[in-house]
A and B are shown apart, each in its own frame.
Chain A
Amino acid sequence: EAGVTQFPSHSVIEKGQTVTLRCDPISGHDNLYWYRRVMGKEIKFLLHFVKESKQDESGMPNNRFLAERTGGTYSTLKVQPAELEDSGVYFCASSQVGGFLTGELFFGEGSRLTVL
């Protein structure tokens, strides 16, 4: 069974440009999450989808970030316009069970974003 896949693995863009990251969760997983680690900092939660609905987007840093999950399958995270401080690794994760009795999260390998 395929795991969580993310694309691209690495993206280098200039400040002010737009980047779109994609995440394909494990088939059948309704829950999808985005996390990120910016330079020298801890891994931080960004948001959580249940199917196509945003369950919790409290970790989104500002309105330059837009996450979508049309049809409840794959998700995209767009950064527009990108700033230098957005550089880091963006992780996607999925899980089968949400809520209180949750199980484990399955993380992808991450998408490394470098903003010059």
Chain B
Amino acid sequence: DAKTTQPTSMDCAEGRAANLPCNHSTISGNEYVYWYRQIHSQGPQYIIHGLKNNETNEMASLIITEDRKSSTLILPHATLRDTAVYYCIVRVGTGNQFYFGTGTSLTVIP
């Protein structure tokens, strides 16, 4: 069901930028891209979302390609607490039904 493709796992050195890619080649014009993360056994946590323009908030930046077929989540200065599974989600429909997929397991290394 998931409409996104992400690498299974990634490592990042503490203090460096973490760049998490996501492919969503079948995205339609009115579908938003969302990023959530799940730290250990906690509930998923919203990070950021966007439609076609790049977005930035206090947690991260979201870069969406011009054709919208892929995006990259950027954590500018990764810390050990950013170790989590990161989910790239294309929202389906209007009822907030998210397909989480398998996500990318990010490990921040000291």
Contacts and interface: CB of A to CB of B under 8 A. Distances in A.
Interface string A80-116: 0000000001010101001110101111111000000
Contact of B46 (A35, A42, A98, A104): A104
Contact of A33 (B38, B96, B99): B96
Range of interface residues on B (Cβ < 8 Å): 20 to 34
Given A45-B98, A98-B95, A110-B41, 16 more contacts: A4-B43, A33-B96, A42-B99, A42-B101, A43-B38, A45-B99, A56-B97, A89-B41, A93-B44, A99-B94, A100-B30, A100-B94, A105-B46, A107-B43, A109-B42, A110-B42
Q: Which 7 pairs show the lowest CB-CB distances between chains A and B?
A: A107-B43, A104-B46, A43-B100, A56-B95, A45-B97, A107-B44, A100-B94
Interface of B: 2, 30, 34, 38, 41-46, 49, 87, 91, 93-102
Interface of A: 4, 31, 33, 35, 42-45, 48, 55-56, 58-59, 89, 91, 93, 95, 98-100, 102, 104-110
